[in-house]
Chain A
Amino acid sequence: MSATGIGAAVRRKEDIRFITGKGQYTDDVIRPGETRAVFVRSPHARAKIKRIDTAAAKAMPGVVGVLTGAELAADKVGGLICGWMIHSKDGSPMKMAPHPALAAETVNHVGDAVAVVIAETQAQARDAAEKVKVDYELLPAVSDPAKAKNGPQIHGVAPKNTIYEWSLGDAKAVDSAFAAAKHVTKLDIVNNRLVPNAIEPRAALAEYDSGTDQLTLWNTSQNPHVARLVISAFVGIAPEHKLRVIAPDVGGGFGSKIFIYPEEVVCLWAARKVKRPVKWTAERHESFVTDAHGRDHITHAELALDEHGKILGLRAKTIANLGAYMSTFSSSVPTYLYATLLSGQYDIPQIYCEVDAVYTNTVPVDAYRGAGRPEATFVVERLVEVAAREMGIDPADIRKRNFIKAFPHQTPVIMAYDAGDYNASLKKAMDLADVKGFNKRKRESARHGKLRGLGYSTYIEACGIAPSQAVGSLGAGVGLWESAEVRVNPTGSVEVLTGSHAHGQGHETTFAQLVSERLGIPFENVSIVHGDTDKVQFGMGTYGSRSGAVGMSAIVKALDKVEAKAKKVAAHMLEAAEGDIEFKDGKFTVAGTDKSAAFGDVALNAYIAHKFSGQELEPGLKETSFYDPTNFTFPAGCHICEVEVDTETGKTEIVNWTAVDDFGTVINPMIVEGQVHGGIAQGVGQALLEGVVYDKDGQLVTGSLMDYTMPRAHDLPSFKVGTTETKSPSNPLGIKGCGEAGAIAAPAAVINAITDAIGSEALTMPATANTVWTALQRAKPRAAA
């Protein structure tokens, strides 16, 4: 391993830029003559727009334009779409309701935009936005997904507010498994709704060049090419070749910046209308009511076991809240990204899952770090833990008895796991966590009036999505390959253009490590270019822990081609047969001789083309690859959480955390560990702190950081992090992906630990001090009257 190659804990190239404030985020981009947009948003969860009076706003100082949904409709700007088709059990397609970028007739959630005010300054736009008079006729709303089917119908296309009633698995086979069971564990689970809260709020800046008829959009996107495709093909703002999307530095996404949002569509449309660049940057309160939320499942789940604790079957019935409109990939999250993972790490013969997706008058819900897989892991790992407790089996033992041990393994829910060693990660985690010493620590806690508990989460995820054919067969509207272009400059430095997008992941470092290793050139001589549709030909972006497994694999393929071409150039330089050229440590050598040429010299010769004729070889050294993997990847591992609960206040303190993950090949262990830390923090946030609350009228109660609790450093212990390694056979590097593991594993580990401590399974997330205290009151036997 070289100092900057694969496996080296190289410091991140991008950090100096970010830490010294030199990052270039969308809001930092300043275009000549730019204006600021402020949106007028519905304060109501559901209402009919009777009239919008913009006259007073238009008369305000500095106002350049005030535009409404009626004008957007008149200009025939298309609505936003969901790009993944799901069919109901009865074969009918999902009920996708129109989603105009500005509402013209009805508003369907608090924060739904009805108009935009464009002015010279932000302050002027805000002042004028307050003068837009919207006459609403209030309509009854429904915010609780459990009540959605009986609530007022939100969209004409969706009776009973039902988007689809989907199922996966063999219901009859599962029923027979349950009939044969010795023990059945049943749980009612709410997977709490979350606000993503990326540190950089969403932003968009649109500019129109009337000379070239070209539109440019700078936006906070995890996948600028997909944004361009959707905005061209469905919204119809501009043809693809006349629209450039640039996602410069982006400050965190967690999924929320995958999607195509109304604001960027409106900025593009408005820029052409007012003939000035138009910029919008969300304020934090807008992020709360417009960024797609995550999770929000209500599930009843059952596990059937034989007398030895061997799992016979699993069934689950889930209501998934998709909010007021179907966001870009919302339909896939509670279906193919959720039910397909209900086998966990276990050999479960039969699984059946039903999912009803519903509309409510709330912010749209879509993928959020883990996307479906945290929900699945929570169901499986809670069921298994509770089953162990009910049957008096050690929770580690019940897992070992059911682990899949032979690969490949076909689950009953589509996925074919290709590699893993679940015993290895469990064992290593138990050693690191000193599970043997737990009882002693528990007694010690008891002496201080505290309850100590231990919780496991042996999670699995499907990442690196995925083979395009596979996702296409499941309803995806796009392919999920990745592209890369490797440009070798005449001086031997290298630019890699990638369709992956970095918004915190450190691609400028890890991708450069790969190139440094493969070409034997200094890490500093490699730069990574991403996030601009004019530079990178096409790309599917970054989400689902796919940049390593898919994005880097595309770079590997392009590097293979670069090497092959360079060998031809070297053969001419060294006057040898191409087949005799060997490439190692940045040097091309004629086999069995001391004749060699350095990589830089070969690059120069490829461009000056003095040693070969145009008939023999094309000059230049630049190669492109599109890579489509052969399978998902299946990162898996074991997290063990140990908590102490203060019986008087109900406050939970996480006292130990052990994470042992199998991510396959690790490119940069420091970055991977950072991803694990961040993922756990988000998972702990979900388990202990975070939870969206809507009141029954659809008002967002947790509308700011004063009420919505984000995890902080003091909420977390120092993590013990380890890895095991089985390489993924589905990509050339053997990478599985690490970005979501912590967020997937953590919630179940925390709740398993707290319920172990308090001796009651009736605990909802977030397990705040009040919630745990209340559970403790109920757990106590009632005193005689």
Chain B
Amino acid sequence: MYDFTFHRPTTVRQAAGLLARNPEAKLLAGGHSLLPVMKQRLAQPSALIDLSLIDGLDTIEQKGRAVVIGAMARHADVAKSPVVIAAMPGLASVPGSVGDPQVRNRGTIGGSIANNDPNADYPAAVLGLGATIITNKRRIAADDFFQGMYTTALEDGEIIVKVSFPVAKKAAYEKFKHPASGFALVGVFVSKRGSDIRVAVTGAGSNGVFRVKSFEEALKKRFAAKSLEGMSIPATGMNADIHASAEYRAHLVGVLARRAVAKATA
């Protein structure tokens, strides 16, 4: 790890100010992606701006027909939140499937989606529920937020404050874990909120999380696993590495989508 300065602001405004004054600074949310690359000297931020002392950034609450989760809410807290479990157990299962207990007790939703790792779990839930990302500057729809691996709509100096998930009547996440890292080799989040049906896939695509329109169309006729029978997606555009071929990932998208729908309708 190279030397850096460490800031601990107590308001979002202070954090934004520090970010503006330190263009090479990084926000520290959970640190489970950032710190390992810093330890390997693959990242050299001039400063870390720790968000953990900012009050009210980790609240989890139901607001009308939405579950609103603060950016600094830890995975473990969201996974066991009575609010989230009551509203959408399928959403609670997403942070519950992340990494290991150590990661879940440090990692945050804001950190996860701001990083937009192509194998991370949260992007599937955010896109799969059509959530809204609320920053210190504006509100961004999930469909506009994720812009390819490790790339988001966030602008310089913009800080995620919370994420608002509309409550879907049916929602579920199915994940096939990467055997070594525990990330999603493929993860599929499905939801049905009135006529809004979403199928979002993480881990599989070479450009990050994406929606499967053909599956969504099929599910619009009837939201049942049977509607997806025999359906798959083309292997082009899928990740391929030593752990899974593009064909296998494409195949898993179909399998996991069916299982997620079955779980959502169980």
The stretch among B60-68, B126-134, B165-173, B176-184 that forms the contact with chain A is: B176-184
Q: Give complex CA distance A73, B252 in Å.
A: 56
Q: Is B5 at the interface (CB under 8 A from chain A)? A: no
> Which chain B residues (239-265) contact chain A, with CB distance < 8 Å?
242-245, 248, 251-252, 255
Whether A708 touches B180, Cβ cut-off 8 Å, given contacts A648-B255, A649-B255, is yes
A-side interface size class = 20 to 34
Q: Which residues of B contact A123 (CB under 8 A)?
A: 1
Selected contact of A770 from candidates B40, B41, B248, CB within 8 Å: B248
Contact of B245 among A649, A693, A701, A770 (CB under 8 A): A770
Most buried by B among A285, A701, A769: A769
Cβ of A706 under 8 Å from chain B: yes
Q: Is the CB of A649 within 8 A of B180?
A: no
Question: Is A745's CB within 8 Å of the partner chain B?
Answer: no
Q: How many Å from the CB of A651 to the closest CB on chain B?
A: 8
Beta-carbon nearest neighbor of B39 in chain A: A283
A768 at interface, CB cutoff 8 A: yes
Q: CB < 8 Å: which of B1, B179, B251, B255 contacts A768?
A: B179
Instruction: Select from chain B the residue with minimum beta-carbon distance to A689.
Output: B179
A709, CB-defined interface residue at 8 Å: yes
Q: A693-B242, A768-B243, A770-B244 are in contact. Are A709 and B179 (CB under 8 A)?
A: yes
- 0 or 1 for each of B215-252: is its CB under 8 Å from A? (1 = yes): 00000000000000000000000000011110010011
- State whether the Cβ of A705 lies closer than 8 Å to any Cβ in chain B: yes
- Nearest residue, chain A, Cβ from B186: A649
Given A706-B180, A770-B244, A770-B245, also A285-B40 (CB < 8 A): yes
Q: Which residues of A contact B245 (CB under 8 A)?
A: 770, 774
Nearest A residue to B179, CB-CB: A709
Cβ–Cβ < 8 Å partners of A705 in chain B = 180
For B, the interface residue count at a CB cutoff of 8 angstroms equals 15
Residues A649 and B242 in contact, CB atoms below 8 Å apart: no
> Are B242 and A702 neighbours in the complex by a CB distance under 8 Å?
yes
A773: which B residues are within 8 A, CB to CB? 248, 251
A755–B248 Cα distance when bound, in Å, is: 20
Docked pose: A470 CA to B13 CA in angstroms: 77
Contacts of A702 in B (CB 8 A): 242
118-139 of chain A: CB within 8 A of chain B: 123, 126, 130
| A-B pair number, CB within 8 angstroms | 40
Which A residue sits closest to B2, measured CB to CB? A127
A390 within 8 A of B: no
The CA of A709 and the CA of B181, in the complex, are separated in Å by 8
Which residues of chain A are within 8 angstroms of B40 by Cβ–Cβ distance? 285
Q: Which of B1-54 contact A (CB under 8 A)?
A: 1, 40-41
B180 to chain A, nearest CB (A): 4
Taking A702-B242, A707-B242, A768-B243 as contacts, is the C-beta distance between A649 and B252 under 8 angstroms? yes
The reply to whether A774 and B242 contact each other, CB–CB distance below 8 Å, is no
* Min C-beta distance of A687 to chain B, whole Å: 13
Nearest CB in chain B: distance from A682 CB, A:
16
Return chain A residues, CB-CB under 8 Å to B244: 769-770
Are A707 and B252 within 8 A (Cβ)?
no
Residue of B nearest to A693 (CB): B242
Task: Assess whether B179 is in contact with A649, with CB atoms less than 8 Å apart.
Answer: no
Q: 1/0 per residue A684-702: CB within 8 Å of B?
A: 0000010001000000011
- Cα distance A770–B180 when bound, in Å? 14
CB distance from A705 to the nearest CB of B (A): 6
Interface residues of A in 696-750 (CB under 8 A from B): 701-702, 705-710
- How long is the Cα–Cα vector from A649 to B179 in the complex, in angstroms? 13
Residues of the B chain whose Cβ atoms lie less than 8 Å from the Cβ of A709: 179-180
Among B1, B179, B248, the most chain A Cβ lie within 10 Å of the Cβ of B179
Minimum C-beta distance from B179 to chain A (A)? 4
B176: chain A residues at CB < 8 Å are: 649, 651, 769
Q: Is the CB of A706 within 8 A of B248?
A: no
* CB-nearest residue of chain A to B181: A706
Chain A contacts for B181, CB-based, 8 A: 706-707
Q: Per-residue CB proximity of B147-191 to A under 8 Å, as 1/0?
A: 000000000000000000000000000001001110000000000
Chain B residue at smallest Cβ distance from A714: B177
Q: What CA separation (Å) do A705 and B40 show in the bound complex?
A: 14
- Nearest A-chain residue to B255, judged by Cβ: A648
How far is it, in angstroms, between the C-alpha of A166 and the C-alpha of B251 when the chains are bound? Answer: 46
Closest chain A CB from B246 CB (angstroms): 11
Q: Which single residue of chain B is at the shortest CB-CB distance from A706?
A: B181
Rounded to whole Å, the gap between the CB of A770 and the closest CB of chain B is: 5
Query: Residues of B contacting A651 with CB < 8 Å?
Result: 176
Q: Contacts A285-B40, A702-B242, A768-B243 given: A707-B248 contact, CB under 8 Å?
A: no
Chain B residue at minimum C-beta to C-beta distance from A123: B1
Which residues 760-778 in A have Cβ within 8 Å of B in the complex? 768-770, 773-774
Q: Shortest CB–CB separation between residue B164 and chain A, in angstroms?
A: 32
Which residues of chain B from 177 to 217 have any CB-CB distance to chain A below 8 Å in the complex?
179-181
* A702 and B179 alpha carbons, distance in the complex (Å): 13
**Interface pair B248/A774, CB less than 8 Å apart:** yes
The CB with the most chain B CB atoms within 10 A, among A650, A689, A705, A773, is that of A773
Complex Cα spacing A649 to B174, Å: 12
Which residues of chain A have C-beta atoms less than 8 A from B179's C-beta? 689, 709, 768-769
Chain B residues with Cβ under 8 A from A707's Cβ? Answer: 180-181, 242-243
| Residues on A with beta carbons closer than 8 Å to the beta carbon of B248 | 650, 769-770, 773-774
A285 contact set on B, CB distance < 8 A:
40
Considering the complex, give the chain B residue whose CB is closest to the CB of A647: B255
**Nearest chain A residue, comparing its CB with the CB of B242:** A693
Chain B nearest CB, measured from A132 CB (Å): 15
CB distance from A134 to the nearest CB of B (A): 17
Cα distance A328–B242 in the bound complex, in angstroms = 31
Q: Please state if A770 and B255 are interface contacts (CB–CB under 8 Å).
A: no
Q: Which A residues touch B242, using CB under 8 A?
A: 693, 701-702, 707
List the A residue with the shortest CB-CB distance to B245.
A770
A708 to B243 CA separation, bound complex (whole angstroms): 10
Q: How far is the CA of A710 from the CA of B243 in the complex (A)?
A: 14
The residue on B at minimum CB distance from A691 is B242
Q: How far is the CA of A708 from the CA of B251 in the complex (A)?
A: 23
Provide the bound-state CA to CA distance between A769 and B255, in Å: 13
Q: For residue B41, which residues in chain A have a CB less than 8 angstroms away from its CB?
A: 126, 130
Chain B positions 133-150 with a Cβ under 8 Å from a chain A Cβ: none
If A130-B41, A689-B179, A693-B242 are given as contacts, then 4 extra A-B residue pairs at C-beta distance below 8 Å, sorted by A number, are A648-B255, A649-B255, A689-B180, A702-B242
Can you list 26 A-B contacts (CB < 8 A)? A123-B1, A130-B41, A285-B40, A648-B255, A649-B176, A649-B252, A650-B248, A651-B176, A689-B180, A693-B242, A701-B242, A702-B242, A706-B180, A707-B181, A707-B243, A709-B179, A709-B180, A710-B180, A768-B179, A769-B244, A770-B243, A770-B244, A770-B245, A770-B248, A774-B245, A774-B248
A positions within 8 Å CB-CB of B: 123, 126, 130, 285, 648-651, 689, 693, 701-702, 705-710, 768-770, 773-774
